[in-house]
Structure 1
């Protein structure tokens, strides 16, 4: 059963009514972040019901030693884990000596939770009757500052409704926390010091093994009816925590509030011996500005993001809520300020996948960041991989490759492979192709070639060397084959000649050769430097070319389609439509053996290749492959519906495109895969943006120009989006029957609409 308690709204995620069964799901859905840190929507006060506590600091991780039943050569030593960081949000609340705990209250009424995406804050409101019969009205608002990204702020207010009440706020910070996800129940944090002074408290702690030094800090002020009250707190501390108690006798109908400021300073940004000093500076500025001013600044910062990134949909509130939720969470996770960071599939919303970097970034996220930010943000994501090239070469060496062949990791924090399921770690090698495709995609979109001679060509050479060595010459086929792989469809392991893998391998080699030639002709100094560094000869390049030209692709003459891999037609080809609903999702209902023998596809595989390389194939070929593969696709990967939505729109199957769009945009809000309690699907959210811009908007880059083939679902009256294309911002507004284009800037932009050349002049509405 899908979730259905999230109330449709254009700009907010809303939950009304308190249901303990929804708490863990809501902790994920209502998560907040600011690119530097993030947290699940845990309650500030105590909660004794089922909960998943989680606060996370960008770039801070722990190498949890690999745990497998049977060790295999080449296995990574560890699986990196994003760490549940010391807790700064906690505020224990006591009302007439009873702890406020919604799980234990006699009655909880008028409960409402709101994640305001327009302004970037999270709030709760409820009326609770405690076991001691005291009735209180509680309202809470918190946010993580975009302007001061080491700071979070909370305004927690209580009003007694049926009697006077003695209320104690006990804000605390605590480093005695554990991860939900751990292989050996290791201790991840070592607390170094706990200190406090003048309403300020600090815990210095470092991660075990990786030695990331952090300071968790807090300071609070209390108010009665918005007037600041000076209360000398009683202080309590132990080896892992410190708390301050602020007690006040509150009259019935009066409000008693606490403003708590907290967050983290880390040695990624400061000297490790200056973390407390840096934290004091943050707190002093926060207290001086105050909660309300900080909140106004937050609203302004988010309005600047939305000015460029917003997509409007007229006439379909669930679709509108879905796309804004996806855009909001992407911006909470990564803002492009720090080239050392990347985008984890769960962002700051949970611990699954270790919070690490996957090929999702290159395949799905880069288009979103290129078009909604400055191109430097996308370039930072490319440089992240260049900075890890030596590690990618090491990863390949561990598996027996040589001569500078590079295999980028399936999962990484620092460039090392840290994923340890053999069928993915060793065999899902198509990820190398996405790294190269992102370089191509960046150049195609931005027109900035400089990255390739400066850095990208070295990456392309390492990847081409890998594919050259990974291919095997088959005497039987008189072709080069690639054996023992897992394609994007992880419901097939250890297959031979996965079409997508073979195709992208051939493309990578040819793309590397093409760019070596360009750099040789146009960037002679870079060419000499790179060739000397890589020790690359013309003879080796000719060997690559032989492999690329002789690559084998499985094909069915009868079906007139490329086969997902050798032997695909040997399967019992029962479509998903003929699979009993009670058997879904198959990854939770079937044995792995049964899944592997089935024809069912977790996500776009062959069709992923048709998405990347659409212009290599005719529309008729796309249609034939879509009609063959989509009926076997169960879409149990979050990365699947967006690709199918884009292709259905290309084929003008708008009902199908809309259905896939709604699934990708509301994957977490409606919990399609029954796993939202573990965290959100952040990287696939970029696919939701692509579903509208590339799917319905039909945006492509053709011969260096923006091209559009706009379509509109019948459920919508209109939709609009903006793209930053080569430093010119184009607004596209699609209505039924026509499309408006508006350009910001000072130069004309030549685009293509439905195959016709159109010139857009700045600040001049053009209707097509």
Structure 2
């Protein structure tokens, strides 16, 4: 049974009633971020129940030394930990000298939290009877500013009921934090200075090994009956600093603590100025005040939603799901800094480490291209170009040469930092996703300049890798790819994974095509690149021979490409024949049993049919979908979205809708029983794709935007916007028709169900 305590609402995520069993899950689900930092929805006050404390700064990590019982050449030396940063949100509260703690209160009622996605604000309220019998009513508001992205704001309102009480507020900064997961229990942070003055405090600290310099800061003020309460002198220890306020509060009166806090980092400021910049930032937000900063927050989110919102009529759970996904994607990455990327957990947890997987190229870039502009997607591609030399170094460690590039499975700075051998050495299909993203970017934006400026060098490095990674099988008379792991991570160390082989062939051919195009149209860039890479015609001929003679496993019996050699040797028991008590198999079965089973974690062959759909007929897709989907357990967050798109293309809307619900509510309903570890951020872009590419049928065909809209029976209508080459197109679909509205000054020609349709500025066209 999936969790079901999250209330259905179009614009908010709502939890009602306090259940300590849900605390860690809710800490993930109600997480907030602003692209520069983020935090789990931990309580500000003391909480002695089970909790997963997490505050994170974008781009800050620690190289935790890999812990294995053996070592092989090329093995990553470290696993990049997304670091739990010094905590600025904490507020100890004492009522008649007893700490407020929901885990020990005699009674908690009226507990409610709401993450208002429309305005980007998290609110929590409750009534409680403390362990010393004081009744209180609490309302807490919190947000991370999009306008001043180094700062967050908290308003903590306590109303005393029935009796007078002395309340002590102790807002604090805590640098003595640890990660949930650590290989060696290393100390991650070194605190160099703690200062305080009046109602402000600062902790200067840097990460061990990576030496990221930071300043964690706060300012607090307390108001009672409209008057500001003076703070007591600060308390300080080696890793902790707090400011204390004390106030006697009469019955049925409220006292409000306002706290601003956050981080300044060396990525944006000189090391010696971090505290002074923090002071200036606090000056700025103090002048604005909590309410004015909140109004700016609402306006900034309104601007984001204006372009990225998807409206679904008639299905509240589906509506809530897609908005939650879009909201979390924008909280994680806004495209303002090309040095950053989209971590699989964003700012919601530590699992997986790293900031960049192949998820960015395969799933996220389409979302950012269509809901932002080509500049944001270009930054994500530039990120990979900036890491090309390290990708070449990664390949060299594994024995490749001559500028062959293997991009890492997981990275923070271009170096491989994934510490599972079957992924690090074998899940090499990630290389092809980066090449595909270059193609996808040009296909959608029409901006070819990236390829001669940066992309062609990346493609050459990737093509060289594929050329060296294959070997010629005398028995088959073909080039084969041995010892790989495809997207289906429930199959390790297999031979001739079809998707990987097909991707390699495509990458080589695409690179050769771009070489010819750059040579004929961008001569200066071509000569610069050839001079830099020392590429020869003879080497290109060898590439072409590999692509032309690539081996692909195939079953004549079933008329399908095989996921890999030997797939049919498995006991082909469908998923629907498995007892429900044995699901999910990744939590119920041994790894040995999983590897010998036919079960597929996520789209593998069908991932290739998604990327390269123009190479296959609808009949081909149907045959492969019907063969592989029954063996797919969808235990990867990246699985339901691809299957939803493919089911929609086949006209199987009920199946597409069910896959859509699963991908859109994966975390809200905790399908995989792991949401307390953090959210699945990158797969959320796949949810967007499920609607726009799946139900909306959006593609780029012959350099034009094309739509084949369908609508689930459960919906009355849905609508979305896409930015296609600086033209914003709004699409509205009902069961009767589809309408298009072009927002902008230039007309555009599109295709709808294969027919040409002309769109003109601000004119509604109904098909």
- Give the TM-score of the pair, scaled to structure 2: 1.00
The answer to whether the Cα contact below 8 Å between 2:344 and 2:680 also exists between their aligned partners in 1 is yes
Alpha-carbon distance in structure 2 between the residues aligned to 1:746 and 1:193: 55
The answer to whether the Cα contact below 8 Å between 2:229 and 2:245 also exists between their aligned partners in 1 is no
Counterpart check, 1:60 vs 2:60:
yes
Residue in 1 aligned with 2:430?
431
The answer to whether the Cα contact below 8 Å between 2:87 and 2:173 also exists between their aligned partners in 1 is yes
Residue in 2 aligned with 1:93?
93
Counterpart check, 1:576 vs 2:575:
yes
Residue in 2 aligned with 1:534?
533
Counterpart check, 1:514 vs 2:513:
yes
Residue in 2 aligned with 1:353?
352
The answer to whether the Cα contact below 8 Å between 2:354 and 2:410 also exists between their aligned partners in 1 is no
The answer to whether the Cα contact below 8 Å between 2:742 and 2:760 also exists between their aligned partners in 1 is yes
Alpha-carbon distance in structure 2 between the residues aligned to 1:8 and 1:178: 35
Residue in 1 aligned with 2:114?
114
The answer to whether the Cα contact below 8 Å between 1:575 and 1:632 also exists between their aligned partners in 2 is yes
Alpha-carbon distance in structure 2 between the residues aligned to 1:562 and 1:162: 73
Counterpart check, 1:177 vs 2:177:
yes
The answer to whether the Cα contact below 8 Å between 1:346 and 1:355 also exists between their aligned partners in 2 is no
Cα deviation, residue 71, structure 1: 1.3
Residue in 2 aligned with 1:198?
198
The answer to whether the Cα contact below 8 Å between 1:602 and 1:637 also exists between their aligned partners in 2 is yes
Aligned-partner SS, 1:746: coil
Alpha-carbon distance in structure 1 between the residues aligned to 2:490 and 2:55: 33
Alpha-carbon distance in structure 2 between the residues aligned to 1:119 and 1:233: 35
The answer to whether the Cα contact below 8 Å between 1:234 and 1:246 also exists between their aligned partners in 2 is no
Q: Deviations over 1:145-185 (max 9, x none)?
A: 00000000000000001101111110000100000011000
Cα deviation, residue 131, structure 1: 1.2
Residue in 1 aligned with 2:727?
728
Cα deviation, residue 35, structure 1: 0.0
Alpha-carbon distance in structure 2 between the residues aligned to 1:593 and 1:95: 55
Cα deviation, residue 11, structure 1: 0.2
**Number of residues paired by the alignment?**
767
Aligned-partner SS, 2:546: helix
**Within 5 Å, which residues of 2 pair with 1:520-559?**
520-559=519-558
Alpha-carbon distance in structure 2 between the residues aligned to 1:238 and 1:743: 60
The answer to whether the Cα contact below 8 Å between 2:469 and 2:481 also exists between their aligned partners in 1 is yes
Alpha-carbon distance in structure 2 between the residues aligned to 1:415 and 1:43: 35
Cα deviation, residue 558, structure 1: 1.2
Q: Deviations over 1:234-287 (max 9, x none)?
A: 321011111011111111111100000000000010000000000001101111
Residue in 2 aligned with 1:154?
154
Structure 2 segments unaligned to the other structure (5+ residues):
none
Aligned-partner SS, 1:354: coil
Alpha-carbon distance in structure 2 between the residues aligned to 1:520 and 1:235: 67
Counterpart check, 1:747 vs 2:746:
yes
Alpha-carbon distance in structure 2 between the residues aligned to 1:638 and 1:181: 21
**Within 5 Å, which residues of 2 pair with 1:196-595?**
196-225=196-225, 227-595=226-594
Cα deviation, residue 747, structure 1: 1.3
Alpha-carbon distance in structure 2 between the residues aligned to 1:85 and 1:623: 48
Alpha-carbon distance in structure 2 between the residues aligned to 1:700 and 1:437: 15
Aligned-partner SS, 1:541: helix
Aligned-partner SS, 2:352: helix
Alpha-carbon distance in structure 1 between the residues aligned to 2:180 and 2:746: 53
Structure 1 segments unaligned to the other structure (5+ residues):
none
Residue in 2 aligned with 1:738?
737
Q: Deviations over 1:507-554 (max 9, x none)?
A: 000000000000000000000000000000000000000000000000
The answer to whether the Cα contact below 8 Å between 1:506 and 1:548 also exists between their aligned partners in 2 is yes
Alpha-carbon distance in structure 1 between the residues aligned to 2:74 and 2:406: 13
Residue in 2 aligned with 1:648?
647
Counterpart check, 1:189 vs 2:199:
no
Q: Which stretch shows the higher mean deviation, 392-401 or 233-242?
A: 233-242
Aligned-partner SS, 1:714: coil
Cα deviation, residue 374, structure 1: 1.4
The answer to whether the Cα contact below 8 Å between 2:349 and 2:678 also exists between their aligned partners in 1 is yes
Cα deviation, residue 749, structure 1: 1.0
Q: Deviations over 1:553-586 (max 9, x none)?
A: 0011111100000010111100001111111000
Alpha-carbon distance in structure 1 between the residues aligned to 2:131 and 2:760: 68
Residue in 2 aligned with 1:18?
18
Alpha-carbon distance in structure 1 between the residues aligned to 2:72 and 2:744: 57
Cα deviation, residue 230, structure 1: 3.4
Residue in 1 aligned with 2:103?
103
The answer to whether the Cα contact below 8 Å between 2:354 and 2:417 also exists between their aligned partners in 1 is no
The answer to whether the Cα contact below 8 Å between 1:81 and 1:356 also exists between their aligned partners in 2 is no
Cα deviation, residue 411, structure 1: 0.4
The answer to whether the Cα contact below 8 Å between 1:315 and 1:717 also exists between their aligned partners in 2 is yes
- Give the TM-score of the pair, scaled to structure 1: 1.00
Residue in 1 aligned with 2:132?
132
Q: Deviations over 1:295-337 (max 9, x none)?
A: 0000000000000000000000000000000000000000000
Alpha-carbon distance in structure 2 between the residues aligned to 1:356 and 1:285: 31
RMSD of aligned alpha carbons? 0.6
Q: Deviations over 1:432-482 (max 9, x none)?
A: 000000000000000000000000000000000000000100000000000
Structure 1 residue runs of 4+, over 2 Å off? none
Cα deviation, residue 70, structure 1: 1.6
Alpha-carbon distance in structure 1 between the residues aligned to 2:635 and 2:200: 47
Q: Deviations over 1:38-96 (max 9, x none)?
A: 00000000000000000000000000000012211110110001100000000000111
Alpha-carbon distance in structure 2 between the residues aligned to 1:34 and 1:643: 28
Residue in 2 aligned with 1:697?
696
Alpha-carbon distance in structure 1 between the residues aligned to 2:468 and 2:233: 68
The answer to whether the Cα contact below 8 Å between 2:354 and 2:411 also exists between their aligned partners in 1 is no
Aligned-partner SS, 1:462: helix
The answer to whether the Cα contact below 8 Å between 1:347 and 1:355 also exists between their aligned partners in 2 is no
Cα deviation, residue 232, structure 1: 3.2
Alpha-carbon distance in structure 2 between the residues aligned to 1:630 and 1:374: 34
Residue in 2 aligned with 1:756?
755
Q: Deviations over 1:664-717 (max 9, x none)?
A: 000000000000000000000000000000000000000111100000000000
Cα deviation, residue 223, structure 1: 1.2
**Within 5 Å, which residues of 2 pair with 1:668-687?**
668-687=667-686
The answer to whether the Cα contact below 8 Å between 1:221 and 1:228 also exists between their aligned partners in 2 is no
